[in-house]
Amino acid sequence: MKRLIAFFVVLFLPLYAIAAEKQHIKTSEDQECFDCHTAETDLWNSGKHGLMSVKCVVCHGSTDKNFHAKPDINRCRACHWEKVADVEKKLYPKERKCTLCHTLHSVKSKFHSDGGK
């Protein structure tokens, strides 16, 4: 029995390490995301999410608890549930990324004349 448990620990520990989300460095309360991440903020500002104030924390969480270094499509569901359902219907789990067709942070279409930035 002990050997069996040890076997499963060895088997699943690496999986747990991969699944566990990366932590953000410590930040203080008077620091805003845009103080340190100007490039992402500029892109965000140039698109609809900036315009409509869909803030960084909506997708990334806060820098202490529930931080998401790599938000997946579940973070889009609350506002774009039809698009997410579409993607789930048409793409395999590994391919389910909105950035396949939309730019990151500026959320523009890659397939139209305004795209690519």
CB of 55 vs ligand HEC, minimal distance in Å: 6
Q: Which is nearer to ligand HEC, 8 or 92 (CB)?
A: 92
What is the rounded CA–CA span in Å between residue 81 and residue 45?
A: 23
What is the rounded CA–CA span in Å between residue 41 and residue 44?
A: 5
The one-letter amino acid at 107 = V
Residues that bind ligand HEC (CB under 6 A): 22, 24-25, 27, 31, 33-37, 40-41, 44, 47-49, 52, 54, 56-60, 62-63, 69-71, 73, 75-76, 78-80, 83-84, 87, 98, 100-102, 104-105, 107-109, 111-112
Helix, strand, or coil (residue 78)? helix
